[in-house]
Amino acid sequence: MKKNIYHLVFVSSIALLLAGCALYPVVQVAGGALTGYDAVIMADDYIPRDHVAGGERNRDEDRMLERRLRERLKMKNIQTVSAHVFERKAYLVGQFMEQSQAKSAVNVAQSVQGLKTINCKFFPMSTPREAQNDTLLLGKLSKRIGETKRLDNIELRLEVIRSNAILIGEAGDYSQKSAALAVAAEVGGIKEVVDYIQVLAPPKPETEVEKVALN
């Protein structure tokens, strides 16, 4: 599988802070104003029972849902948030000047039937200087990921906002996921690594030899 890395960094000339209050009961403030807040919101309840993780049919469906979500965000003129869909889980990552704008983005995602959950990572708007630094950090991160052979077949989207690296995608196993997170953490200037990487394969059970070695 060809490596898919999408670079998305939002640039703004206005520096404002979002309020730390919750949009929904499930929204949690994460680290104060600098890191914004996260949300995981359940979407539709009718998820088909034949949905199997990793299937090509499901990947095509993810692309359709992602396209539909992006089109609706565009129609609402929501330009400072990116949308990604993996295994019917939507990931909204972006920056907002006002909390009402963030709420509008979540409402748009909730209107897309077929999504299983909506995961949000929102930040206050960056200053021009912060945005320029994010662009440099994203370049470094992309280069490191590209040079890591262990990550040749990973399906990964990369974003850097306010020196926070957000990794979204699918890994073949837990060791590949760990490698991607480790690479991101080693990039100088990255403050926090946000993990939105799903693992397709279940962890391998310990063999008797491994158990003995651990004792």
pLDDT tens-digit readout, 154-193 = 999 999 999 999 999 999 999 999 999 999 999 999 999 9
Pair (97, 170) in one structural domain: no
Would residue 8 count as lying in a domain?
A: no
Name the pLDDT band for 15 (thresholds 50, 70, 90): very low
Pair (91, 161) in one structural domain: no
Pair (101, 195) in one structural domain: no
Mean pLDDT of the chain: 78
| 189 contacts 133 by C-beta, under 8 angstroms | yes
Pair (119, 132) in one structural domain: no
Per-residue pLDDT tens over the stretch 77-134: 999 999 999 999 999 999 998 888 999 999 999 999 999 999 999 999 999 999 999 9
Pair (88, 154) in one structural domain: no
| 102 contacts 18 by C-beta, under 8 angstroms | yes
The CATH code of the domain that includes 191 is 3.30.1340
Q: How many domains, the chain?
A: 2
Pair (61, 111) in one structural domain: yes
| 88 contacts 115 by C-beta, under 8 angstroms | yes
Would residue 12 count as lying in a domain?
A: no
Q: How are beta strands 164-171 and 192-199 bridged, if at all?
A: parallel
Pair (138, 42) in one structural domain: no
End-to-end CA distance of the chain: 38
Instruction: Write the DSSP string, the chain.
Output: ---B--EE----S---------SSTT-EE-SSTTT-EEEEEE--S---TT--TT-HHHHHHHHHHHHHHHHHHHHTT--SEEEEEETTEEEEEEEESSHHHHHHHHHHHHTSTT-SEEEEEEEEPPPHHHHHHHHHHHHHHHHHHHH-GGGTT-EEEEEEETTEEEEEEEESSHHHHHHHHHHHHTSTT--EEEEEEEESSPPPPPPHHHHHHH-
Task: Tell me which residue range forms the domain holding 172.
Answer: 128-199
